[in-house]
A and B are shown apart, each in its own frame.
Chain A
Amino acid sequence: MSEPQGSDLMTTSSSGQLPGGSGVAVSLRWLRSTHPIVVTVLAFVVSVIVGGLLIVVTDSPTRKAARYFFASPGTTFAKGWDAVSSAYVALVEGSIFDLHAHGGLWQGLNPLSDTMLNATPLILAGLAVGLAFRTGLFNIGVQGQLIMGAVFAGYVGFAWRLPIGVHLLVALIAGMVGGAIWAGLAGWLKARTGAHEVITTIMLNYIAFYLLGYLLSLDGFKRSGSNQAISRIVDSNARLPKLFPAPWRVHAGLIVALLAAGAVAWLLTRSRAGFQLRAVGANQNAARTAGMNVGRNYVISMVIAGALAGLAGCSQILGTNSSITQDIDAGIGFTGITVALLGRADPWATVLAGLLFGALQAGGVAMQSRTGTPIDLVTVLQSIIVLFIAAPALIRSVFRLRGAADVGSQQLAKGWNG
């Protein structure tokens, strides 16, 4: 989503639509506007309802009861409500506070740690997608960049021997370089030959995936003595330290992610380079006329985005896990796209979006283990939320909100040739 879209949404809600009036009337009107927060909450509500329907339809006690629906409709509804509420309660308990945990408040808040743990790579991946968005680029290649980042960081982590502190720093830099090379390749191809970054980044995803598979078959990379495709274990000097005592698992990657969000926010709003990136994203012809080197900005944007994605890989390999496997990406690359969309490509909003989706993921694990509701529900919820957010006009028509007609959709539209 490019800059004009976001700012248009802001103006319709904050100033243009809401002049004066009593407090209640203003807040009512605010609730009926297409303020981004309102849209986000409504999208969330819709996704929860759709998810609930999905649970009911596939729940076997409910389906059994539904055979006698006309004899006793109440039973069907009761069973359905049971299934939905238990699943969603488990989801919340698994992501925020566990009422059933033994051992007091600290144990009870453990799910919060899992939420942050899951959110860390999502925030970084979301930033990687969002930054490229602001330059008018679609970075679909976070998956590949994350893999390359993990490969570089992991290699430094398990093959080199460095003193404590230095090792972690070098590994993090290596991860950023790995991601930056992979994304920079797509940016360079776009700048040099006009090859569309959507295509090249998707292709680079697969190349990175198979490259990792190849590396995992090589001696020296593969763990010796293991017949599984798993790399050697990262040295303890290169691990991201845990932030809290056990059982909290959240690690310093979260700090890295927050620092990265701050850096991206500073870059975009305060720096000369960031102004150029945004200018290219808003209107590349105007930027070119103003004397900016559009191609160079594409490369810069992709390199920074790749470094961010590489950090997501670092969080995976130096923090959450300690060795590389074929599924090191764990879907983070594509979820990162939805995080960036939910965050409307704004760094701090991306942090919040990452936390929300991290919470869903952490809760999903608990939900699956406690109620047997498959964790894929989380993917459904996430995609529905983003689908509705990407189409504010749809939310408007569903909830009969008022708002400006078709806000900024033209800027969003860019084809292969753009």
Chain B
Amino acid sequence: MSAVREQEPSLVETHEVVEVPASRKSRLISGSVLIVVGLLCVLGLGVGSHAGYDAKFGLSPTGATIKVPALVVPARIVAIVLGLLIVALGVWRISRGFSRHTMRWVVAITIVAAVFSFLCWACTGSKGTTLDLLGLLQQTIFLAVPLILGALAGVLCERSGVINVAIEGQMLAGAFAGALFGSLTHNAGVGVFASLIAGGLIGALLAVFAIRYLVNQVVLGVVINLLALGLTGYVYDAVMANDQNTYNTPPGLHVINIPGLSDIPIIGPLLFQQNLIVYAMYVLIAVIDVALFRSRWGLRTRAVGEHPKAADTVGINVRRTRYVNVIIGGLVAGLGGASLTLGSALPFGKNMTNGKGFIALAAVIFGRWSPRGAVGAALLFGFADALQNVLSFIGTPVSIPSQILAMLPYLATILAVAGLVGRVRAPAADGEPYVGR
């Protein structure tokens, strides 16, 4: 391709990428949203908190060799300052506007600032409350692992043009097979392998029906989820429930401390005292993020997902590319399922994914079908989940129903697809089977 381009430069039209400034209307809308969020922080979380209380954040795990002192800040002032920062960003957005690239950072900063001012407010429920920030973040990672792996599975599938609503089923099958084979062999490694196979098999089922039999992929995903739910539930009741010791006591994966890295304060206990699945997840995130945009496989995947006919014309095997991607996606989602059972030595339970696959799907869309975005969204959703647990321990100034917090990821996703956070566009051929020229 590049050789042709060099030989005949006149034939190839090159397009300068021109930054299209956001329209006045969209600037007004997004700016107003920022201002509203900022004002909520200032008035609701800043002024609404108890005056004079300090927010104390624990940053050190119990029993650590190197103690990190707790972060102590005046709650009300910090919440107000962060809120004002968001308001300022909103005003700037309306008056001057940000470029698309900067806007991403603005959104990220807004989320972090709003969350932090919320945490400051939450700390002021009673004097002397310490919020275990490190614990919160550790839980975030723990809860986000299946979501991240599921979301990566979704990205792999959907970038190649196959809608994956079946993440839930793939994860459930992975969790089930991991628990069953891990228990039977008393070997977590075998369990992980079984999880991969189970997820991959469901992925293959999705691939065959979507690519060969051209079944509508959304319908297919829903039905496959039901099938996985029925099969795992059936075998659970028929076999596992009668003899939990033999069939449903999966061994846990060991926590591996990475020498050197695991001793770094805060980051060490957070990222480098994890099990094999989490490390595999780091590798997968990096590999998929780079490969999707920098490798031959990635180029082909994106070509097949955006314009299969064009890809076919230049000799890319559309169906094979999709088969490969969907099955790899199944493997990754299966690994996500393994993290639920083998990752923490938990027995399998009926419908134990409980909608995590759908949250992962939401993360894919929220993250605009990019690996980085999907991981970020999955972390955000994991954080919302972890926050629920933590807030139920410390009393907030005004008690927040846990159900309302639980809704937030779903509300955020609706707002995202409704275009409030910028236009979300799927790969052009996502969901359209390719029948050939």
Contact = CB atoms under 8 A, between A and B. Distances in A.
Given A198-B218, A202-B358, A391 B213 contact: yes
A331 to B, nearest CB: 9
Given A192-B418, A394-B209, 11 more contacts: A54-B234, A59-B238, A193-B417, A195-B414, A198-B218, A199-B362, A199-B413, A210-B404, A217-B401, A378-B230, A390-B209
A75 interface: no
B199 interface: no
Contacts of B403: 210-211, 213-214, 217
Interface stretch (B10-18, B220-228, B251-259, B260-268): B220-228
Nearest to A133: B219
A413 interface: yes
Contact of B223 (A198, A387, A410): A387
Interface in B331-375: 355, 358, 361-362, 365
Contact of B219 (A200, A341, A379): A341
Given A379-B226, A379-B233, A390-B219, A417 B425 contact: yes
A376 B233 contact: yes
A138 interface: yes
B417 A195 contact: yes
A219 interface: no
B418 A140 contact: no
B218 A199 contact: no
Interface string B421-435: 000011011111101
Interface residues of B, number: 55
A416 B406 contact: no
Contacts of A194: 419
A412 B432 CA distance: 9
A410 B217 CA distance: 12
A414 interface: yes
Interface of B: 161, 163, 165, 209, 213-220, 222-227, 229-231, 233-239, 242, 355, 358, 361-362, 365, 401, 403-404, 406-407, 410-411, 413-414, 417-419, 425-426, 428-433, 435
15 contacts: A195-B418, A200-B417, A203-B411, A206-B406, A207-B407, A211-B407, A214-B401, A214-B403, A373-B238, A380-B227, A412-B214, A413-B217, A413-B433, A415-B217, A417-B428
A7 B118 CA distance: 57
Contacts of A337: 219, 222-223
Given A199-B365, A203-B411, A386 B223 contact: yes
A383 interface: yes
Contacts of A381: 230
Contacts of A195: 414, 417-419
SS of B interface (majority): helix
A395 to B, nearest CB: 10
B177 to A, nearest CB: 15
A380 B230 contact: yes
Given A200-B417, A384-B227, A414-B432, A58 B163 contact: no
Nearest to A377: B234
A1 B214 CA distance: 13
